[in-house]
Amino acid sequence: MRICSSPRNVLPPHSLIHRPKAPQDRSQLRLWLLVFALTLIPIQAQCVSQDALTHWYHFMLVKAPPYRMSTTITPDAPISEGVDCSRLHYLVYKWAGAPVQRVTARDMAMGRGGWKGVEKSLDNADHLDLIWWTWKRRPERPYGHIGAILLGDNGLLGVIHASETHGHTIWQEMKGVLIRDAVAVKRPLIVGEDMPQGK
């Protein structure tokens, strides 16, 4: 089990906090300043908090950005310009501090761009697992759509995805074609367990 929290500035090792005497010549001073400056750079999380991911998925549900194929938008454009299925998850993970790249749903299924994961069965799917579909009406696009399993307010597991049919980001209960056309479920390796309260 990996315990992780949201990314934050990580204190440098004690040896780097100790302030040595300032060097006398300029080249040593530059090196000393560079090492000191590097200790101040925020370190990106190697795993992301489930709480952070859940927060950003709920944010996307509230904002309900319109569906739009991301080939026509830059990866970091405002969500008001729209999201497609893979951009939705890229943004949520990026905002949660994950070191992932913007790639297609199929590339995410193949583990490219930082999206490696452990395969699971649909019966064992859990909150925040990623799920892929190959729609029966579009077999030429294997792994062509991606969503995330998300626990709903009603206590049921459903999926959040950018729906072309509905025209925006939605949460739907897992039934019908969402079960029939599912081809893969994975737990991303970068999703950690949250720190228990009071620890």
Domains of the chain, start order: 13-42 (no CATH), 50-190 (3.90.1720.10)
pLDDT of 89-113, one tens digit each? 999 999 999 999 999 999 999 999 9
pTM over 0.85: no
**Residue 21: pLDDT band by 50, 70, 90 thresholds?**
low
Write the DSSP symbol of residue 194: E
Q: Which position has the higher pLDDT, 44 or 23?
A: 23
Burial of 143 (0-12, 13-18, 19+ CB in 10 A): middle
Q: How far is CA 186 from the centre of its chain?
A: 13
Identify the residue with better confidence: 145 or 27. Answer: 145
pLDDT the model gives residue 112: 94
Q: Express as a percent the part of the chain with pLDDT over 90.
A: 57
pLDDT score for 135: 82
pLDDT (0 to 100) of residue 38: 57
Place of tokens 């026509």: 72
Q: Span 20-45, mean pLDDT?
A: 60
Question: What confidence tens digit (pLDDT) does each residue in 108-129 have?
Answer: 999 999 999 999 999 999 999 9
- pLDDT, the chain, mean: 81
89-94 CB contacts, 8 Å cutoff, 24+ apart: 89/130, 89/146, 89/148, 91/56, 91/60, 92/53, 92/56, 92/57, 92/60, 92/148, 93/48, 93/53, 93/188, 93/190
**pLDDT confidence of residue 9:** 34
Phi-psi bin for 170: left (phi > 0), alpha (psi -120 to 50), beta?
A: beta
Q: Is the per-residue pLDDT at 18 higher than 70?
A: no
Mean pLDDT of 159-181: 94
pLDDT band at residue 40 under the 50/70/90 scheme: low
- Residue 17 is predicted with a pLDDT of 38
pLDDT in tens, 172-182: 999 999 999 99
**Looking at residue 168, what is its pLDDT?**
96
pLDDT at 37: 62
